Structure 1
Amino acid sequence: MTEEPEEAAEPVKVQKKSLSIKQILIFGGIILVLAGGGFFTYTKFFAKHEEGKESKESAKDTGHKDKKPAEQILIPIEPLIVNLTDKSRFMKISLQLEVGDKKHEDIVKEKMPLLRDAIIMLLTSKSYETISGSDGKMQLKDEVLSRLNQALGKEIILNVYFTELMVQ
């Protein structure tokens, strides 16, 4: 008489552990921190190194060696006070013009009355609504730059900086 073990007939149950929400959040946080650290390391150390290689290679291709960047030349324009198209509103503005070359500085200073006139004509055509807000000021800056280069007949002025701007 052989007896069969009763325990062998029952299947063995294996319990599966499931991840709790807390564990998932911890693992996700660790992954985000590692990814952020990797991105920071790449941009901080490797991206600048690659940009330097590209600029040196382009300098070799064009035959230029590391030239010093052109000196920034700023020409101030005395404050202007103009009426806006709105009733009883006016604007006070001071500007500085950036030019890229010393010979251009002389041209701009010589043509200053023409440039001031171009700015005044542009500003007096504006209303408070069109220049309020950062978008309006950026558009005004672009329009001033365009008008001044148009008045000079060539692209001499590289940028326009508002050093004072008041609307009342």
Structure 2
Amino acid sequence: MAEDSGLGGLVSDIEAEGELKRKKWSGKRIVMVAAPVLLLLVGGGTAATLYFGDKDGSKTADPAAIVAASSAGAEVVYVDLPDILVNLKSTDRNSSFLKLSIALEVSGEAQADAIRKQMPRIADSFQVYLRELRIDDLSGSAGMFRLKEELLRQVNTTIAPFRINDVLFKEMLVQ
């Protein structure tokens, strides 16, 4: 009998250990692990589709490949922006306006085509920045240089990984 109770005790210990193992991976824990993984997969797939896909569902060329290919040829292409007209920030009741005609210098026609597709985003970025300027910010050649540098920084931030080499003023009128 002692042998039976010893064997029975061993079997009950094994069963108890099996129950502990099953309790470690309960339904809550599986959901807590699987839900974030599933969420990351769905979110990553959606982000990739939005970033790399066109509106018609076709896959666009890799931006890094366009930048590398266009910089290898190093032909300079100029992309004209539509004229920009903004009212400047002022402290008094007098209104001041700024009219700009700008061309962007890029390397290669492939990159220029990609920049043309981003034109609404570039125009928006410029409009937001320019509306906060005052007449004093634009005075003299130093003011014009600062404006040029800031617009270059704005556009390169907006269209990354593409890169604009230079912002060229065709016309600048402050009234």
For 2:161 and 2:148, how far apart are their aligned partners in 1?
A: 18
Q: Does 1:109 align with 2:86?
A: no
For 1:156 and 1:107, how far apart are their aligned partners in 2?
A: 11
Question: C-alpha root-mean-square deviation of aligned residues, in Å?
Answer: 1.5
- Match of residue 88, structure 1, among 95, 99, 111: 95
Report what 1:148 is aligned to. 155
Opposite residue 81 of structure 1, the aligned amino acid is L
For 2:108 and 2:118, how far apart are their aligned partners in 1?
A: 16
TM-score, reference length from structure 2: 0.55
Opposite residue 158 of structure 2, the aligned amino acid is A
> Structure 1 stretches of 5 or more lacking a match?
1-67
SS in 2 for 1:113: helix
> Structure 2 stretches of 5 or more lacking a match?
1-71
For 2:115 and 2:73, how far apart are their aligned partners in 1?
A: 21
Between Structure 1 and Structure 2, how many residues are aligned? 101
- Match of residue 81, structure 2, among 74, 77, 99: 77
8 Å CA contact 2:73, 2:108 repeated in 1: no
Report what 1:57 is aligned to. none
Opposite residue 82 of structure 1, the aligned amino acid is V
Report what 1:167 is aligned to. 174
Deviation per residue, 1:103-133 (Å, 9 max, x gap): 2111110000000011111111100001111
1:165–1:148 distance in 2 versus 1, CA, 3 Å: same
Deviation per residue, 1:31-64 (Å, 9 max, x gap): xxxxxxxxxxxxxxxxxxxxxxxxxxxxxxxxxx
8 Å CA contact 2:105, 2:164 repeated in 1: yes
Identity percentage of aligned residues: 32
How much does 1:153 deviate?
1.9
- 1:38-53 to structure 2, matched below 5 A, reads none
- Match of residue 145, structure 2, among 138, 144, 159: 138
Which segments of structure 1 move beyond 6 Å, counting only runs of 4 or more? Answer: none
How much does 1:158 deviate?
0.4
For 1:69 and 1:144, how far apart are their aligned partners in 2?
A: 25
Higher helix share: 2
Query: Which protein is bigger by CA-based radius of gyration?
Result: 1
SS in 2 for 1:147: helix
For 1:91 and 1:78, how far apart are their aligned partners in 2?
A: 14
